[in-house]
Structure 1
C-alpha cells in the first residue's frame, strides 16, 4: 500500500470497480467443522476488511503466503523478492457460507482479478491475485470458477489470478490487523478500501454483516 504524507500516490481512481458475477457452478461440498481459505488480492487491509464484514466468517487474518517463513515480514515482502503475496487467511463456517461464495465475493468486490501483479496504486508480485488452495477440492473449485468467469466474459480482460497450493500462511504484524476498522479515515483506506465494503453491502446483502469480526475478538476453535 502506497501512501504519501496525508494523501495517495497513484492514479486518481477509487477502489477497483465491483463486477456482478454469477456464483460458481462447481462448489465445495458442505463439510462439518471450521474450514479455511487463503486468498491474495492486493493490499491485505481491504481484503481483510471485506471478509470481516462477511457473514459466516469467524476470523480473517492478514498475512503472507507463497514464500518462506524467514522472509514473512513486511519489510522483506515489500521488496517483491520473497515470493510472498499479501494474503488473508479466512476461517469460516461452511454451514453459513460456502467456499465458492467466498471466491465469488473475492472476485466480485474484494479486488480486480484482471490486474497482473498490482491493485490500485500498489505494484509488485506481493500484490498479485492468487488463490492458495488447501486441498484438491479447493483447487478444482477455484480453477473451474476462473474458467467459468472467463468463458462468460464478465470482465473486459482475462483473469490473471493464479491458483497455487498453500505451503504456509504467516500472520502479518499486529499493526496490520483490523487496519480498515481501526483507521477508516486514513486516506488510503477511505479512498481504496471503504468502497469495497459498500460494494459488499450492496451486491451481497444476504452475506453482509454491519459489525466486523475483528482478529482481536475472534474466538475460533475446531
Structure 2
C-alpha cells in the first residue's frame, strides 16, 4: 500500500492541501432502518481504505460466511492491483461480505463498518493510504440496501456521530471483482508485518471492544472456502 500513499501525498502537496486528522474509532448508534432478513445468504460490498484491514475485520464477525478482497467501482478490464493503484480506474479496494441475515443484519454490518473498520470522514484516503482507490464507499446490491445505507449516513451526520461530515459514497450498480490470491487473508497470514501491526490490527481490537457478542476469535478464511 506504500505506492498509493506516495502518489496521494504528492497530489495533496501539489494542491497545497494537508490531509485531515483521523477520527478516533467510536461506537456509533444502530441504524434506524434495516434490510429485512431473507432465507439464505445476503451480500454487502464495502470499501474503506486498504482491503487487507476491511477483510480482516469482517472475517472476525459472527454471522459472516465469507469476506473476499477485491475491486469495485470500475470495469473488469482494470480490476487488477497494479492498475487500481494508479487511482485512475474508478475502482476502490473493496471487500465482498457474504453473511447469514438470520444471525447478523445488513445494518449491523454497516454499524461495524462505521465504528471499527475505518474512518468514514476521510475523503479519498485512509490513514497513510491516499487516493480515490482508498475511498470510503458502500456498493449496494439493490435499491433497498442503497436506501438503508444513505439513510444511515444521513442519520449519523444529523446526530453528529463524528466531528466531521461523513465522506462515504453510496455507489449502486457497480460490480465486484475478486483480487489476486496473494491479497486474500493477508492480515491473517502476515500479523507481524509493520503495516498490519500499526494500521490494521487496531481495527480488530476495536471490533472486539465495541461488539464483544459479534466478535469471533477464529477468522473465516478465503483459503478455507469449499471449492
User: What is residue 6 of structure 1 aligned with on the other side?
Assistant: none
Kindly report which structure 2 residues correspond to 1:128-167, keeping only aligned pairs within 5 A, or say none.
128-167=135-174
Counterpart of 2:213 (choices 206, 209, 215) is: 206
TM-score norm. by structure 2 comes to 0.90
User: What is residue 175 of structure 1 aligned with on the other side?
Assistant: 182
Contact preservation (8 Å) 2:23, 2:163: no
Counterpart of 1:26 (choices 28, 33, 51) is: 33
Structure 1 spans left out of the alignment, 5+ residues: 4-8, 10-14
Contact preservation (8 Å) 1:64, 1:172: yes
Kindly report which structure 2 residues correspond to 1:1-222, keeping only aligned pairs within 5 A, or say none.
1-2=1-2, 17-219=24-226
Distance (Å, rounded) in 1 between the aligned partners of 2:31 and 2:225: 28
User: CA 1:16/1:154 → structure 2, altered by over 3 Å: closer, same or farther?
Assistant: closer
TM-score norm. by structure 1 comes to 0.92
Distance (Å, rounded) in 2 between the aligned partners of 1:146 and 1:200: 20
Distance (Å, rounded) in 2 between the aligned partners of 1:219 and 1:26: 34
**CA-atom RMSD, angstroms?**
1.6
Distance (Å, rounded) in 1 between the aligned partners of 2:143 and 2:210: 29
Aligned-residue offset at 1:218: 2.8
Cα-to-partner distance string for 1:146-199 (whole Å, 9 max, x where unaligned) = 000001101010001000113211000000000000000000000000000011
Contact preservation (8 Å) 1:54, 1:208: yes
Distance (Å, rounded) in 1 between the aligned partners of 2:100 and 2:186: 23
Contact preservation (8 Å) 2:23, 2:162: no
Distance (Å, rounded) in 1 between the aligned partners of 2:136 and 2:151: 16
Structure 2 spans left out of the alignment, 5+ residues: 4-8, 10-21
Higher RCO by CA contacts (8 Å cutoff, separation 6 or greater): 1
Distance (Å, rounded) in 1 between the aligned partners of 2:45 and 2:212: 23
Contact preservation (8 Å) 1:115, 1:160: yes
Aligned-residue offset at 1:20: 1.5
- The number of equivalent residue pairs is 211
Runs (4+) of structure 1 exceeding 6 A deviation are none
Contact preservation (8 Å) 1:117, 1:129: yes
Distance (Å, rounded) in 1 between the aligned partners of 2:120 and 2:198: 19
